[in-house]
Amino acid sequence: MSITAIKGMNDVLPGQVETWQFLERRAREVFGAFGFSEIRTPIVEKTELFCRSIGETTDIVEKEMYTFNDKSDNSLTLRPEGTAPVMRSFIQNRLNTLDPVSKLYYMGPMFRYERPQKGRYRQFHQIGAEVIGVEDPKIDAQVLAMLHHYFQDIGISSVALQINSLGCPACRPTYRQALIDYLEARLVSLCNECQRRYTTNPLRVLDCKASGCKEATLDAPSVLEHLCGECDEHFAQVQSLLDELAVPFSVNERMVRGLDYYVRTTFELVTDQLGSQNAVAAGGRYDGLVESLGGPSLPGIGFAIGLERLVLMKDDAQAQTARPDLFLAALGEEAAQKAFVLMTELQRNGFRAEMDYQGKSLKAQMRRANKLKSRFTVIMGESELQSGRAELKDMDQSTQDQIALDSLVEELSARR
C-alpha cells in the first residue's frame, strides 16, 4: 500500500497555493506598513515553554500537544501556537534592548492533536502579530485596526470583530470566585468536562459548546461588571479609539480565550460561514507573560489568524495556477533543442515559457498549450529554423505576427 499523509495534515497543491501566497503576501505588506517585522522561530520548543505560558489546565496543554522525547530524553513539543515561542525568542535575544517597542509578526505551521474536521486540522497555519512594550490602549486599537484592515485588503468582509476585557490579576480573582459560586449552584446541568474544570478553569465553561452548559450560564455574572477601575478605563479607551478609527466591533462579555496568559483586552474575528469553526482570528493582551517566562516586566498584545479558515472563506478567484506567457511547440529534435535554449532564455528574462519534453506530435503539443492557457504560442519546424523567423500566435486575440526567433524576449516585452 502507498504511504499517505498523517491524518489532519494536508498538502497545499498548485491551484490552491496561489491563494495562500496571496494571503501571505498581503499580510507582509499590510503588517509592514504598520511597522511590524517578521520573526521566525523553530517549530519545536521545550515542552515546558508551553506548559508555563499557555497554562496546565487549558485544552491545548491538557490534550492537544504533540509532545515527544528526543534521543537525549528531553521533552519537546511541536508548537501549538506562536506567541510563547516569540516571547521566548524576545527574551533570549533581549530584543527590548534594541527598541522599547517590538512589533513582530510570524507565519507558519502549528500543531494540535484535535479531531480533524472542516476548518480544524492537526497541522494548521497561523499568521500572527505581537507588540511588546506598550500598555497604552492606543496599541490595542492599532492592532485591531491592522487586523481589520488586513481583512478588508484581502476582500473578506463577512467577519465581525468581538471584543471583551478579562481584567487583570487584581480584579480577575474576584470575578473567578463569583463565577465559581454561580456554577456551583448549577453543577448538575453542566457537561462532565465542565463539572471537572469549573474550579480549575471556570471561564472555560462560558465558552463550552454543550447545550446544558450554554443554558446554565445564560445569567452568569459578567466579567465586565467585575473589572477594577484601571481595567475599566483601559477597556473604555480601547472602545472609543476603535470608534475614532472607524473599526466596527461589538462587545461580547461571554468571550473568554482558551489560553491562561490573556488579560484585559481579548478579541475574536468570527464568521457564520464555517459552521462551528467560527473564529478566523483571535488574540488579546498578555501583560504578565514575558515576565512569567523569566523576561523583563513588559506588557504585550497580539493575535493569530487561522490561514486554513481564511482560505476556506476566500473564493477561488485567486486559485489559478499562473498561465504561461509562451508555449514553444517544436517539430523534430533539432527544433526542440533550439526551443529549449529559447525557452530558458525567456525564463531568465522573467517570462513563463513552456515546451514539450516528450517528443509529442504537434497536435498534442498544441492541445497542451491550450490546456495550460498559454497566452502566446510559437511553432518551430525546419523552415522556421532555417529562416530564423516564425509566427507568434496571440491565443487570446487570435492574431499572429511574423517575428525573429532571436528577438522573442523583445517581442514578448513589447506585448506585455
| Contact set with ligand ATP (CB under 6 A) | 81, 112, 114, 119-121, 124, 126, 258, 277, 279-282, 304, 306, 308-309
Q: Which is nearer to ligand ATP, 206 or 335 (CB)?
A: 206
Separation of alpha carbons 79 and 293, rounded Å? 16
The residue sitting closest to ligand ATP, measured at its beta carbon, is 306
CB of 123 vs ligand ATP, minimal distance in Å: 8
Q: Are 85 and 79 in contact (CB under 8 A)?
A: yes
Closer CB to ligand ATP, 140 or 308, in the complex: 308
Give me the least distance between CB of 126 and ligand ATP, in Å please: 5
Q: How far is the CB of 220 from ligand ATP (least distance, A)?
A: 19
Instruction: Give the Cα separation of 17 and 8 in Å (integer).
Output: 18
Nearer to ligand ATP, 211 or 387 (CB): 211
Residue type, 343: M
Find the shortest distance in angstroms from Cβ 121 to ligand ATP.
4
Angstrom distance (rounded) from CA 26 to CA 10: 23
Residue closer to ligand ATP by CB (options 78, 279) is 279
Q: Which is nearer to ligand ATP, 31 or 124 (CB)?
A: 124
Output DSSP code: residue 13: -
For residues 24 and 14, what is the distance between their CA atoms, to the nearest angstrom? 15
Q: DSSP states of 383-404 as a string?
A: HHHHHSEEEEEETTTTEEEEEE
Distance, CA of 88 to CA of 91 (rounded, Å): 5
Q: State the Cα–Cα distance between residues 39 and 98, nearest whole angstrom.
A: 14
CB of 86 to ligand ATP, least distance (A): 14
- Assess contact for 50 and 260: CB atoms under 8 A: no
Kindly tell me which of 123 and 377 has the beta carbon lying closer to ligand ATP.
123
Find the shortest distance in angstroms from Cβ 91 to ligand ATP.
21
Please state, in angstroms and as integers, the Cα–Cα distance from residue 99 to each residue in 33, 90, 284, following that order.
18, 11, 22
Q: Residue 269 and residue 280: Cα distance in Å, rounded? A: 6
What is the distance between the alpha carbons of residues 68 and 183, in angstroms, rounded to a whole number?
36
Instruction: Name 76's bridge partners.
Output: 46, 68
Shortest approach of ligand ATP to residue 208 CB, angstroms?
Answer: 11
**Among residues 280 and 385, whose Cβ is nearest to ligand ATP?**
280
